[in-house]
Chain A
Amino acid sequence: MAQLTSARRAPGLRVAPSFSERIDLPQRVVLVAAGSMIAIVVLLLTFVTWQGLQLFLKDGVSITQILSSTWQPDPTYPPVIFGLLPFIAGTVYVTAVALIISTPLSVGLALFLSEVAPNWAKSIVQPALEIFVGIPSVVWGWLGITILVPFLSSTFPAHISISLPIVGTVFGMPGFLTGFSWLAGSLVLSVMVLPTITSVSYDAFQAIPQELRTASLALGTTRWQTIRHILIPAALSGVLTAVVLGMTRAAGEALAVQMVIGNSPTLPTALTQPLTTLTSQITLDMGNTVFGEPWQDALWTMSLVLLAISILSVVLVRLINARRLGA
């Protein structure tokens, strides 16, 4: 019988860990890669905020001034007023109408794909949606300017009104003079945000466990009743998230919108009138201004407003979903 002496004992587990075990180099490296995003955001926020505040700090413009609706930045035509209201309002208006148009369509499409479409239909529509996503914004803008704008101005050039027999004119607005208008901008934006809202809503509907559908159907309800009373409430936070993401994309879109809205820095009174957004004004003026002059500082302030909107929407999305997880 072999005797186990200490001299012949096999090396056990008490071997000192190697260098690579002690310091997990790969972990450090990939952490730096992932952490670079934090650095990027911090830098971005710092730079843009700093530049954006110059209008107040260096040029002495007051906050009340930027809320005025007069935009006269050119120093050769005094008085110079940096009123940002037309742009903020423009962004809000164009985004709001785009969401009104797009949300029902997108949620409907998401429901179609999730609940109604047979597999063969899904396999056609889903790739189509992905291609939709891939179309660059300048192309949407070009389509808008070559097809939509002429269509609007040729089809509805005159005064648009809806009259009922006894009541008289119920609704009226001036026609599309050139076609470059609020509505054109919203229409273009609505097709651009459609894939975003659809895909996030689709994920929300897919996440609902199948058992809830089976339980509802087994109680003798129709599919639409199941959708309306069970699925939509269950997916609500997902759909809200989708709409917020769509809103962010719409508000941040620059080129496509700029090509079709007419770019007149006034507050529109009707869907048929031209307007301007924060993004389009920045795009137009940045090239004509000099770094450091108040005009450009105002553009930076507009960028800051855009940045604030986007960060706020990230926070909003987190709030919407935090409540759901907590409950």
Chain B
Amino acid sequence: MSDVALGSRAGSVVEELRKLPAFFRRDLLVMWSYRLAFFTDWLNLLVQIVVFFFVSRLIDPAKIPSFGGERASYMQFVAIGIAVTSFMQISLGRVVSAIRTEQLQGTLEALLITPTAPTTIQLGSVLYELFYVPIRLFIFLGLSWVLFGVTFEVSGMLPAIGVLIVFVPFVWGIGVLSAAGVLTFRRGTGAVGVGATAFTISSGTYFPVGVLPAWLQPLAKINPITIALVAIRRALLGGAGWAEVTPTIVLLLPIALVSIAIGVVAFRAALRRERRRGTLGLY
């Protein structure tokens, strides 16, 4: 590729990246216009913490795995599980529904006739969540700490964030792949929800993977959510540092890249198919 072509390509990428804050601002303004839903989300979060706090009183701490030599309480165990999987579910839900929502509200074609790459539209449509959901996650953990004394290792925060950063592209890739399916078949958000729940249940969010049936345990262990969760729990409950979470990051990185590549290819193919069929605006 010539220098001119490379330069032009780099220029295009920069131009596309410059558009992303516009999506963020749009979604922030839209979300803020639904203030009640915004506050209800926080209320739900609080209720969830309260419920699991009382459930935790029924669970024998001896059955909870230990992290960094210290046995964790069920509340500590489940708080991280809920934080990470709600992060995944909200992000996944938004990626899947972003294009569908544009289609339903009639703005998809208006977006697609602007000189904006479909990938930018996809990424831009979830950018707000990519900021909001991690903030929500840390506030959730903070509330658990303040209200119910659920403590976490502060030293493990940055390594946990490191794992989360490589986990995000994996979720995005799965989401874009699902969005391609929804764009093609017009339905399927329900199936995506079932898939996400299956992933969550087998990931050790609410209970240790060790209590699953023996035949399911090998599958649960290769579930990327399980892999991420184990590392994040080690960091936040056992104080694991970068050296201990790096193998997980190295393992998750190619999974995330493959997930994104498959998702983007599938989404472009779905978009091309819709253009060919002339059904892009139909819902």
Q: A and B from one assembly?
A: no
Residues of B within 8 A of A (CB): none
